[in-house]
Amino acid sequence: MQRYTTTAIVLHWLIAVLIIGAFTLGLVMTDIPGISPTKLKYFSWHKWAGVTVLLLATIRLLWRLKNRPPALPDSMPAWQRGAAHGLHHLLYVLIFAVPLSGYFYTLAAGFPVVWFGLFQLPVFIAKNPALADTLKPIHYWLNMVMAGLVGLHVVAALKHQFVDRDGTLGRMLPGRSH
Ligand code: HEM
Ligand code: HEM
């Protein structure tokens, strides 16, 4: 069976690790009461990881538009192909929408985003507390939707690996053909 390209595999796993890290950090940092140096540090790391996801997602989407993924196994029923494609589309939307909502929220809350303390992202939203109050729950809920869909995605991957044994997971793993 054909695999995804090495570029697609590297980007898939790099983005997955960064998203899981940013998600966990997001929950931990917002639970720290008051203001402390640790909290501020975690907020910075969170934003750096999130902006990195945005950058990698852009490269990934461009790569994906030029490189078709390998065909799904013939044994797969039509509804499963449809579900997999629909879910993958939604995940592509969310790997942009989640970091963008965090970025827009941060600007509306009146803070610039300085990637790794080096490169300042454009400030195209002026401080706007009402908008910040709207964007904060949007960032939260987009995250919860993404968490649910990633959960489904992982359950589907494990089902293909251990129940159907059709080599689907191997397509997304480095150096394995099945
Ligand atoms: C893949 C990317 C990202 C993920 C998975 C993610 C996830 C999360 C999560 C789970 C929370 C906790 C929400 C809560 O409990 O209220 C959070 C909060 C936050 N995120 Fe993100 N985020 C991402 C990207 C970003 C980016 C790029 C920025 C800004 C540049 C950002 C800024 C924030 C801020 C400021 C908060 C705190 C909100 C508050 O005070 O409640 N996030 N994020
Ligand atoms: C935040 C976490 C993750 C995100 C956002 C994500 C997103 C995606 C997306 C968008 C695709 C479609 C790729 C394309 O056709 O261009 C994909 C494929 C895939 N993912 Fe993930 N993924 C994540 C985590 C995982 C994990 C943890 C596993 C394994 C347990 C996994 C297994 C797979 C597999 C096997 C495929 C290939 C499916 C196929 O052959 O069509 N993913 N993922």
pLDDT tens for 9-49 read 999 999 999 999 999 999 999 999 999 999 999 999 999 99
* Closest ligand to the CA of 148: 2
| Amino acid at site 12 | H
Is residue 176 scored above 70 in pLDDT? Answer: no
Dmax over CA atoms of the chain, in Å, equals 56
- Give the C-alpha separation, 115 to 99, whole Å: 13
List the residue whose alpha carbon is closest to atom 27 of ligand 2.
154
Domain boundaries, the chain: 6-172
- Backbone Cα Rg of the chain: 18
Q: Which long-range contacts (CB under 8 A, 24 or more apart) does 116-124 make?
A: 116/48, 117/44, 121/51
Q: How far, in Å, from the CA of 122 to the mean position of ligand 2?
A: 30
For the record, the structure tokens of 64 come out as 């994906």
List the residue whose alpha carbon is closest to atom 10 of ligand 2.
88
- Give the C-alpha separation, 171 to 17, whole Å: 18
| pLDDT at site 75 | 87
| pLDDT at site 174 | 87
- Give the C-alpha separation, 45 to 39, whole Å: 10
- Give the C-alpha separation, 38 to 176, whole Å: 41
Domain 6-172, CATH number (from 1.10.10, 1.20.950, 3.30.750, 3.30.1380): 1.20.950
| pLDDT at site 178 | 45
List the residue whose alpha carbon is closest to atom 31 of ligand 1.
102
Q: How far, in Å, from the CA of 46 to the mean position of ligand 1?
A: 7
Is residue 177 scored above 70 in pLDDT? Answer: no
